A and B are shown apart, each in its own frame.
Chain A
Amino acid sequence: MPWLVGLLGLLGFALVVLPLIGLLREASWSNLWSDLGTPQAWAAIKLSLVCSLWATALALVLGVPLAWVFARVEFPGRSFVWALTVLPMVLPPVVAGVALLDAFGRRSFVGARLYDWFHVQLTFSTAGVVLAETFVAMPFLVITVEAAFRALDRRYEDAAVTLGASRWTVFRRVILPMAGPGIAAGAVLAWARALGEFGATITFAGNIQGRTQTTPLAVYLLLESRPEVATALSVLLLGVSVTVLALLRRRWLARA
């Protein structure tokens, strides 16, 4: 039987690699830069960068404390709250988009109040893109950072408090730096997820060039009209993914 196992394994590898080869074969390398420089593509790239970085920042600010709570605080219903928090990882993105519409849409229970009180409208806005991206990306950060917090030896915190450090000093000067690599990995992972976000974004924020049309959305739209630009953008996203994998290789590939 070993030949069958080997054959199936080879087929599995081919399944992953053939599309990548196809993409690289299709790309017109000599025109890559000019294709990426077309106004629509360039606008999408800029918007993607801005939105994904904002989403990563938000995920960090909100997700790190959340990860801390999951790692260190016992409270009733903890596993239920945890499950809800990481649900977006397995939720179909389009469902995430519909759910966001039902909560933050113009006439929904949160969105209506946001509009009435602050005149803030999230749907069809760049902020909406950031919200959708944060929604789907934050769980990746939370579980990575939670694992990093759990892996910390509690005695470092003990040592810090016996030296007179307040809880905040312990967090800032001991826990954060010691969990730093884990937090960085979580942030990179969340950023990559945010950058590739499609379903929730198009459902919740729409597909408006320059405002909500991020790179994946532009790829989808341009595939009919300017397939060479769509391919160029795809190659760019593939390059980013490979870079992310390289950045995280110590964390994951070292274990293989």
Chain B
Amino acid sequence: MTLEAKVRRRLGSLDLDVDLEVAAGETVAILGPNGAGKTTLLRCLAGLEPVDAGRIALDGVAWDDPGAGVFVVPEQRSVGFGFQDYVLFPHLTARENVAFGLRSRGATRGGARRRADEWLARVGLADVAGAKPAALSGGQAQRVALARALATDPKVLLLDEPLAALDAATRGEVRRDLRNHLGEFPGVRLLVTHDPIDAATLADRLVIIEAGRIVQTGSLAEITVRPRSRYVAELVGVNLLVGVARDREIELEGGGALVAPSAATGAVFAVVRPQAVALHRERPAGSPRNVWPGRVAGVELLGDRVRVRVDGPPALVAEVTPAALHELGLVEGAAVWISVKATEVDVFAD
């Protein structure tokens, strides 16, 4: 199963022109700044907005093809849509919200109710089935919205900023659950986010759009190493390291360790911005807690900055000025010392 989309859509100052192909079993994250056209793209895929030109098709069957005069209305597309702030029906209970799609698609009252209860149990909310959305916490509302979108067994799941409305405390937990549910969903999975951590942890492939155009696609690792623009570098060009924390020490997957500014336990992500990575010819003396030797694996010029890939372990990308590049004699294969201040390590619980 494959979703093919060529979306051309003009809306106010937005001029969206995106070609995208997503296969079943793959999770694609669309990243971009506000107004880049991310939400509009999802709305076009769901049929909430028509495309001006282009074609949207699932397994070769057109959903929207203005050239051929085809437009399948949203209620006829097999899409589960997660809205940014969930848009749960306020007059219905959590159970009725989840049952809504099943009822609309012809399930009996009892059948829909049973299926809704099953879904609520799957997202761990069996005990709030009778509660109205106003009584739910942000994390609970997110789960109800996810259950509602999945309950109709759609072929395509579209999630618009699924975690943006959550506070930092619940975000990690909800993100982990969401990843599990995404993993169990067999269809096409597409999510919009502006958070590279969400994108990297939930998606197999990142698609970055800026002003209505795709500027880069790839895994976070690929993009971190070689961001195509200053903007992409700032948005997603971060070092994301996976490890297990014990107190302030994080044992990294693939070797090496980092000291974090605060204590944590269990699986974590550590994020280090390339600008925070310092390179030295000699082992630096003084305050940095994280110091290790490495070798330059590649040098990339990006505007007025240089991105230097260094092998570790851990391997990182550092961003330095062209002057520093020259001064340090950073060529491929050169031996360097890498340092990162503990305060520059951001830790996210997985």
Contact = CB atoms under 8 A, between A and B. Distances in A.
B298 interface: no
B55 interface: no
A162 interface: yes
Interface string B70-109: 0001111101110100010111000000001100110000
A177 B132 CA distance: 14
Given A160-B100, A162-B77, 20 more contacts: A156-B89, A158-B74, A158-B81, A159-B81, A159-B87, A159-B89, A160-B104, A161-B48, A162-B47, A163-B75, A163-B105, A163-B149, A164-B101, A164-B105, A165-B100, A166-B75, A173-B100, A177-B91, A178-B89, A180-B91
Contacts of A163: 75, 100-101, 104-105, 148-149, 152
A178 B90 contact: yes
B46 interface: yes
A119 interface: no
Of A158, A162, A177, the most chain B CB neighbours within 10 A belong to A162
B91 to A, nearest CB: 5
Interface of B: 43, 46-48, 73-77, 79-81, 83, 87, 89-91, 100-101, 104-105, 148-149, 152
A156 to B, nearest CB: 6
Residue of B87, B105, B152 with most partner-chain A CB within 10 A: B87
B136 to A, nearest CB: 16
Nearest to B79: A162
Contacts of B91: 177-178, 180
A243 interface: no
A173 B92 CA distance: 10
Interface residues of A, number: 18
B104 A169 contact: yes
Interface string A148-168: 000001011011111111100
A237 to B, nearest CB: 34
Nearest to B85: A155
A174 interface: yes
A162 B46 CA distance: 7
Contacts of A166: 75, 104
B77 to A, nearest CB: 8
Contacts of A164: 75-76, 101, 104-105, 152
Nearest to A176: B91
A153 B75 contact: no
11 contacts: A156-B87, A158-B46, A158-B48, A158-B74, A161-B47, A161-B48, A162-B80, A164-B76, A165-B75, A165-B100, A178-B91
Given A164-B104, A178-B90, A158 B83 contact: yes
B83 A159 contact: yes
Contacts of B152: 163-164
Contacts of B79: 162
A208 B149 CA distance: 61
Interface string A84-121: 00000000000000000000000000000000000000
B101 A174 contact: no
Contacts of B46: 158, 162
Contacts of A155: 83, 87
Given A163-B104, A164-B152, A153 B73 contact: no
Contacts of A162: 46-48, 74-75, 77, 79-81, 149
Contacts of B77: 162
A126 B342 CA distance: 86
B89 A165 contact: no
Nearest to B90: A178
A243 to B, nearest CB: 26
A161 B75 contact: yes
Q: Which of A156, A164, A165, A173 has the most C-beta atoms of chain B within 10 angstroms of its own C-beta?
A: A164
A173 B104 CA distance: 10
Contacts of A165: 75, 100-101, 104
A177 B100 CA distance: 14
A164 B73 CA distance: 9
Contacts of A158: 43, 46, 48, 74, 81, 83, 87
Contacts of B89: 156, 159-160, 174, 178
